[in-house]
């Protein structure tokens, strides 16, 4: 300790660094709390796992086929086509998860009703093996405000207890029915539920819970839970997954999802064909009636004019005319069909499919393309807003295409009219050559011509009807399963290992965080090792806690006392003697930051250690505001330092009291509390008092006031040779040291050293911090409460020396 000194400047401050070593040792010392926390968290994690219903992930893969010819933007650039293709496919995914499609699944699989076995920590779900069935009419089911939970408890035989609960208009509602038979009606404010027995399920021993939900709410949950996304690096392969509490339920939901989606797609594809077919059937009926009329007129004409055969000459003359007539008939039939279609197109809504019943392949192709876009528009607009870019583009294209259809029909009709006029001119020329042809034959040919037109139209419509029927038959699914829905037996939720790992980490983190927060918010220290990390002021001693039965002891040091605390006071005395000014230090001042740190206790017992050496030692009570020294030695405080400083007593010997504990130990109490203690300490009598005491005693121990509260001790610092700053383990904080550092910076201390009081040397923290697992045989020896022996100190009377 000879080199332990301190320079009174800023260099004596320890930099404010986080005490990582101390924190880790605190963790190690509190290992039992860590273990308990981990066990509790693991138990809570296990209970959480046990309370959660296992979920199994059902997965499937489908191939989504969107025909290139159905893409209305297929004529664009390559990048635009890919972007538009992706947009169309993503729209198909939204259609697949649409509320209407999912609502169909809920209704078809009866998902609005859920059944569970009543359990302790959780209710295991039942799927398709429920012994009871809840029934609610579809109208009431669609307007449920809140789920209805019904418990059915079998009593034996055909008797049951039924309890139901729900909330109606935010009001809790409960109903109880005892000893009833099934079927039974449960009447609630928002609906009446009928509970029936399922005869196929015979076993019914446990309480069963039926939960009735609004199908719309179930569809919303399905929309959130069903995950649909493109496979990596593919815009045609789609992955579908759903976490279900029963594997069979998840498989059925995914299969139903794909089936309903395909049914909607096929219906969209056939919508144009159905409308065209209806148009053709209507025209066939009309043409059939017209054809019958023509044939009837022909028969009547022949009978009226007795026409049975046409002469060879007439046939020869009419050959050329017949060819013209045939051409006229074909043109006339096509003109009529164009006019009919033109009429339909003009009157049709822009988003309505059009009949495609022309021989003109160009116009037919345009109409078919238009019908595909109408189907695409109707399907996309159901799941998108009107300002969706795809919807806007489709609407613009439909308007342009309709105008183009009308223009093409007009152009085709005008071309046919021109062609008909040319043929009519040729026919008239041929007619002039048939002047000699009988009028009867002319009328007959007109009927023949009209008949041929009707026959051609009828034949054409029959052919188109067969083509449309074939088109409807060949309509294929857009979504095709390539991986059937399946799931592993291992549940994906709850994830037991992850939950237990998190619980384990929380078990470690909770006490670690509490210890860290405590150290940050309440930065106390527990022994001299931690204290040394916070300051460069030398720590010359630590005083341990008093043992059981000694808590109220005032003097713990005695001639034949070998307790740990007594030996630590002796060690403190020896350490003082090895300081730079220790050998010449006669006046030792003890102070602290605040009251309660054990300053008076340390002063009294330190003085006792000097008295045991045969040195005449005096303890002065200089804490004039809160005097405790006299009370610690069992004396009255009616006379003392204040009596001398105030001039009431000039003979110091009358104020000094010899201690009962040791003849070499003397006490000078503080005396009555004065109204002006600061002024008394600054009086000339103070210097006179200290000089007289120096001459009369070998050692003078000053028990002064805390410097963190009042300035009394700072006044008398100059009368001391050495200063001891007392701190207390797990009581004093870093701010205590800041007070000391500030006083050192201000030059108020000349030779100051630290002592830490109240150290628990039996704690794990102390053991691990000092010496690991051998800490109990440490620096100060080991005291055995059983034998009364302290390893390296003195031995009590009638006790043999023994080391542990």
Q: Is the pLDDT of residue 797 over 60?
A: no
Between 767 and 141, the more confident residue is 141
Q: What is the tens place of the pLDDT at every residue in 166-212? A: 887 777 889 899 999 988 999 888 888 999 988 887 777 889 999 99
Residue 15's pLDDT band, with cuts at 50, 70 and 90, is very low
Please give the average per-residue pLDDT across 249-272, as a whole number: 81
Between 449 and 773, the more confident residue is 449
Please give the average per-residue pLDDT across 558-582, as a whole number: 86
pLDDT at 619: 94
Cβ contacts of 192 within 8 Å, gap of 6 or more: 136, 140, 185, 186
Between 441 and 708, the more confident residue is 708
Are the C-beta atoms of 748 and 615 separated by less than 8 Å?
no
Farthest CA pair distance, the chain: 179
Cβ contacts of 224 within 8 Å, gap of 6 or more: none
Please give the average per-residue pLDDT across 127-138, as a whole number: 88
Q: How far is CA 156 from the centre of its chain?
A: 46
List, as one string, the DSSP characters of 415-454. Answer: HHHHHHHHHHHHHHHHHHTTTTS-HHHHHHHHHHHHHHHH
- According to DSSP, the residues that pair with 668 across neighbouring strands are 620
DSSP 482: E
Peptide bond into 183 cis (omega under 30): yes
C-alpha distances out from residue 408 to 336, 360, 361, 549, Å:
15, 10, 12, 115
pLDDT at 763: 63
**SS (HEC) of 149-216:** EEEEEEEECCEEEEEEEEEECCEEEEEEEEEECCCEEEECCCCEEEEEECCCCCCCCCCEEEEECCHH
CA distance 15 to 8: 16
pLDDT at 611: 94
Which of 730, 704, 555 has its CA nearest to residue 623? 704
Q: Which of helix, strand or coil describes residue 758?
A: strand
Please give the average per-residue pLDDT across 700-721, as a whole number: 89
Least confident of 108-117, 345-354, 467-476: 467-476
Q: How far is CA 58 from the centre of its chain?
A: 23
Burial group, residue 513, by CB count within 10 angstroms (0-12, 13-18, 19+): exposed
pLDDT at 785: 39
List, as one string, the DSSP characters of 670-691. Answer: --SPPS-HHHHHTSHHHHHHHH
Between 263 and 704, the more confident residue is 704
Q: Is the pLDDT of residue 130 over 60?
A: yes
pLDDT at 695: 92
pLDDT at 43: 93
CA distance 167 to 189: 9
pLDDT at 555: 87
Q: Is the pLDDT of residue 793 over 50?
A: no
Q: Is the pLDDT of residue 804 over 70?
A: no
pTM: 0.56
Using a pLDDT cut of 90, give the percent of the chain over it: 18
* CB-facing half-sphere around the CA of 221: CA atoms within 13 A: 11
Peptide bond into 494 cis (omega under 30): yes
For tokens 């080391």, what's the residue?
A: 803
CA distance 606 to 623: 17
Sign of CA dihedral 349, 353, 357, 361: positive
Strand order in the sheet with 657-658: 539-544, 752-759, 722-728, 587-592, 699-704, 617-622, 665-668, 657-658
Residue 97's pLDDT band, with cuts at 50, 70 and 90, is confident
Q: Return the CA Rg of the chain.
A: 54
Please give the average per-residue pLDDT across 290-305, as a whole number: 78
Are the C-beta atoms of 624 and 670 separated by less than 8 Å?
yes
pLDDT at 145: 85
pLDDT at 10: 41
CA distance 329 to 309: 23
Cβ contacts of 155 within 8 Å, gap of 6 or more: 161, 179
pLDDT at 311: 55
Least confident of 509-518, 520-529, 720-729: 520-529
User: What are φ and ψ of residue 168, in 5° steps?
Assistant: -125, 120
Q: What is the tens place of the pLDDT at every residue in 467-517? A: 777 766 655 666 677 777 887 778 888 888 999 999 999 999 998 888 788
List, as one string, the DSSP characters of 63-80. Answer: EE---GGG-TTTTS-HHH
CA distance 760 to 683: 42
Residue 701's pLDDT band, with cuts at 50, 70 and 90, is very high
pLDDT at 666: 94
Residue 26's pLDDT band, with cuts at 50, 70 and 90, is confident
Which of 670, 730, 662 has its CA nearest to residue 699? 662
Between 276 and 544, the more confident residue is 544
Using a pLDDT cut of 70, give the percent of the chain over it: 82
Q: What is the mean pLDDT of the chain?
A: 79
Residue 278's CB is within 10 A of a number of other CB atoms, namely 12
CA distance 101 to 257: 7
* Helices of type H across 491-547: 496-521, 528-534
Are the C-beta atoms of 272 and 353 separated by less than 8 Å?
yes
Please give the average per-residue pLDDT across 126-152, as a whole number: 87
b or e along 4-28 (b: 16 or more beta carbons within 10 Å of the residue's beta carbon)? bebebeeebbeeeeebeebbebbbe
CA distance 555 to 728: 18
pLDDT at 81: 39
Q: What is the tens place of the pLDDT at every residue in 654-693? A: 999 999 889 999 999 999 998 888 888 999 999 999 999 9
Q: What is the tens place of the pLDDT at every residue in 400-447? A: 888 888 888 888 888 888 888 888 887 776 666 555 455 666 777 777
Residue 803's pLDDT band, with cuts at 50, 70 and 90, is very low
The packing angle between helices 439-473 and 247-305, to 10°, is 170
CA distance 803 to 787: 10
Residue 141's pLDDT band, with cuts at 50, 70 and 90, is confident
Tokens, residue 345: 């197109």
b or e along 157-175 (b: 16 or more beta carbons within 10 Å of the residue's beta carbon)? eeebebbbbbeeeeeeeee
Least confident of 339-343, 636-640, 645-649: 339-343
pLDDT at 436: 45
Are the C-beta atoms of 112 and 214 separated by less than 8 Å?
yes
Q: Is the pLDDT of residue 36 over 70?
A: yes
Least confident of 189-203, 339-353, 560-574, 737-751: 339-353
Between 392 and 310, the more confident residue is 392
Between 366 and 437, the more confident residue is 366
With the CA atoms of 15, 21, 25 and 27 taken in that order, what torsion angle do they form, in degrees rounded to the nearest 10? 90
Q: Which of helix, strand or coil describes residue 730?
A: coil
CA distance 523 to 526: 10
CA distance 358 to 347: 18
Residue 583's pLDDT band, with cuts at 50, 70 and 90, is low
Tokens, residue 790: 């302290």
Are the C-beta atoms of 151 and 244 separated by less than 8 Å?
no
Cβ contacts of 89 within 8 Å, gap of 6 or more: 64, 66, 230, 235, 236
CA distance 722 to 589: 6
Q: Which of helix, strand or coil describes residue 662?
A: coil
Q: What is the tens place of the pLDDT at every residue in 750-781? A: 899 999 998 877 665 555 555 443 334 333 44
Tokens, residue 264: 């909607």
Please give the average per-residue pLDDT across 639-645, as a whole number: 91
Are the C-beta atoms of 166 and 209 separated by less than 8 Å?
no
């Amino acid at each position: 300790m000879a080199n332990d000194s301190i320079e009174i400047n800023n260099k004596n401050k320890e930099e404010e660094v986080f005490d990582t070593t101390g924190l880790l040792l605190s963790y190690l010392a509190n290992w039992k709390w860590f273990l308990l926390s981990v066990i509790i968290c693991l138990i809570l994690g296990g209970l959480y796992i046990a309370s959660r219903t296992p979920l199994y992930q059902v997965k499937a893969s489908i191939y989504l086929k969107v025909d290139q010819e159905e893409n209305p933007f297929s004529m664009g650039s390559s990048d635009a086509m890919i972007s538009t293709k992706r947009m169309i496919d993503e729209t198909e995914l939204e259609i697949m998860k649409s509320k209407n499609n999912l609502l169909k699944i809920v209704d078809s699989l009866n998902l609005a009703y859920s059944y569970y076995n009543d359990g302790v920590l959780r209710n295991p779900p039942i799927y398709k093996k429920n012994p009871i069935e809840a029934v609610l009419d579809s109208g009431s089911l669609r307007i449920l405000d809140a789920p209805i939970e019904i418990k059915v408890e079998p009593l034996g035989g055909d008797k049951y207890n039924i309890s139901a609960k729900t909330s109606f208009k935010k009001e809790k509602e409960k109903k109880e029915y005892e000893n009833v038979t099934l079927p039974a009606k449960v009447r609630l404010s928002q609906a009446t539920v009928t509970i029936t027995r399922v005869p196929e399920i015979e076993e019914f021993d446990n309480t069963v819970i039926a939960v009735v939900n609004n199908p719309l709410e179930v569809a919303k949950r399905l929309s959130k839970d069903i995950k649909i996304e493109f496979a990596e690096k593919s815009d045609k392969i789609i992955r579908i997954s759903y976490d279900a509490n029963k594997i069979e339920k998840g498989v059925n939901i995914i299969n139903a999802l794909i089936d309903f989606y395909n049914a909607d797609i096929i219906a969209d594809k056939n919508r144009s064909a159905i409308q065209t077919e209806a148009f053709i059937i209507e025209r066939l009926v009309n043409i059939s009636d017209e054809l019958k009329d023509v044939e009837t007129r022909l028969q009547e004409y022949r009978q009226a004019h007795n026409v049975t055969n046409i002469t060879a000459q007439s046939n020869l003359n009419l050959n050329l005319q017949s060819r013209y007539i045939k051409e006229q008939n074909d043109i006339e039939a096509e003109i009529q069909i164009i006019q009919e279609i033109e009429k339909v197109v003009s009157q049709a809504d822009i988003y309505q499919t059009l009949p495609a019943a022309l021989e003109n392949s160009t116009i037919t192709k345009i109409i078919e393309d238009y019908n595909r876009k109408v189907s695409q528009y109707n399907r996309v607009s159901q799941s998108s807003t009107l300002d969706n870019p795809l919807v806007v583009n489709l609407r613009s294209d439909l308007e342009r295409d309709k105008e183009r259809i009308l223009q093409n029909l007009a152009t085709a009709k005008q071309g046919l009219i021109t062609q008909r006029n040319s043929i009519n001119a040729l026919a008239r020329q041929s007619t002039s050559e048939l002047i000699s042809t009988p009028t009867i034959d002319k009328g007959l040919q007109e009927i023949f011509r009209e008949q041929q037109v009707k026959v051609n139209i009828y034949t054409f419509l029959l052919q188109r009807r067969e083509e449309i029927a074939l088109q409807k038959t060949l309509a294929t699914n857009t979504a095709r399963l390539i991986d059937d829905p399946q799931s592993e037996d291992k549940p994906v939720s709850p994830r037991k290992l992850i939950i237990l790992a998190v619980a384990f980490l929380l078990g470690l983190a909770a006490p670690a965080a509490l210890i860290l927060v405590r150290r940050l918010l309440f930065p106390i220290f527990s022994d001299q090792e931690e204290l040394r990390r916070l300051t460069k002021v030398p720590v010359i001693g630590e005083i341990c806690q008093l043992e059981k039965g000694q808590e109220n002891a005032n003097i713990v040091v005695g001639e034949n006392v070998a307790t740990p605390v007594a030996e630590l006071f002796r060690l403190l005395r020896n350490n003082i003697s090895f300081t730079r000014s220790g050998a010449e230090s006669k006046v030792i001042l003890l102070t602290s930051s605040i009251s309660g740190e054990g300053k008076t206790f340390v002063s009294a017992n330190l003085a006792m250690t000097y008295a045991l050496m045969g040195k005449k030692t005096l303890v002065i009570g200089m804490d004039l505001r809160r005097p405790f020294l006299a009370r610690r030695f069992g004396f009255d405080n009616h006379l003392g330092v204040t009596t001398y400083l105030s001039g009431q007593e000039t003979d110091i010997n009358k104020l000094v009291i010899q201690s009962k504990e040791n003849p070499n130990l003397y006490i000078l109490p503080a005396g009555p509390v004065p109204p002006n203690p600061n002024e008394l300490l600054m009086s000339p009598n103070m210097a006179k008092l200290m000089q007289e005491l120096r001459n009369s005693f070998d050692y003078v121990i000053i028990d002064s006031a805390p410097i963190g509260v009042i300035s009394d001790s700072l006044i008398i610092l100059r009368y001391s040779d050495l200063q001891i700053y007392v701190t207390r383990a797990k009581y004093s904080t870093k701010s205590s040291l800041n007070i000391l550092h500030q006083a050192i910076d201000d030059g108020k201390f000349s030779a100051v050293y630290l002592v830490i009081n109240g150290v628990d040397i039996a704690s794990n923290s102390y053991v691990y911090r000092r010496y690991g697992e051998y800490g109990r045989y440490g620096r100060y020896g080991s005291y055995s409460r059983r034998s009364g022996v302290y390893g390296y100190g003195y031995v009590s009377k009638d006790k043999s020396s023994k080391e542990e």
